[in-house]
Amino acid sequence: EFAQVLSPTAIRMRVWERGAGITQACGTGACATLVAAARRGLTGRKADILLDGGTLTIEWTEDDRVLMTGPVALAFSGRLSAELVSVGQGDA
């Protein structure tokens, strides 16, 4: 992630994933970015993370939970055949 603290309540973040390049968002990365910024005193424990795919609100609670709120979208829908799912189940 590349992040720029815009204010104590806003961070602009871009995501670069190895093998894929720039992607729209990364929830795990947004959570880690907020905690890192808050630990350094650059933001509070709650901020909006502005990503190419939309804005996530991340809150690092006093009991050390990290909560993420934001939009969701269906990225893929499909079906797996029973034969594909059962391949290799006795091989481990």
Q: Among candidates 53, 51, 57, 52, which has minimal Cα distance to 70?
A: 57
Looking at the structure, give the CATH architecture of the domain made up of residues 2-69: Roll (3.10)
Domain range list for the chain? 2-69
The pair of three-digit structure tokens given for residue 32, joined into one six-digit string: 């880690």
pLDDT of 73 reads 80
pLDDT of 90 reads 60
The pair of three-digit structure tokens given for residue 54, joined into one six-digit string: 């939309």
Give the mean pLDDT of 74-92.
77
Query: Are 57 and 48 contacting, i.e. CB atoms less than 8 angstroms apart?
Result: yes
pLDDT of 41-72, one tens digit each?
999 999 999 999 999 999 999 999 999 999 88
Residue 66 identity (one-letter amino acid): V
pLDDT of 41 reads 98
Burial class (CB in 10 A: 0-12, 13-18, 19+), 83: exposed
Query: Are 5 and 37 contacting, i.e. CB atoms less than 8 angstroms apart?
Result: yes
- What's the pTM value of the predicted model, to 2 decimals? 0.78
The pair of three-digit structure tokens given for residue 8, joined into one six-digit string: 């104590």
Q: Is the pLDDT of residue 23 over 60?
A: yes
pLDDT of 85 reads 79
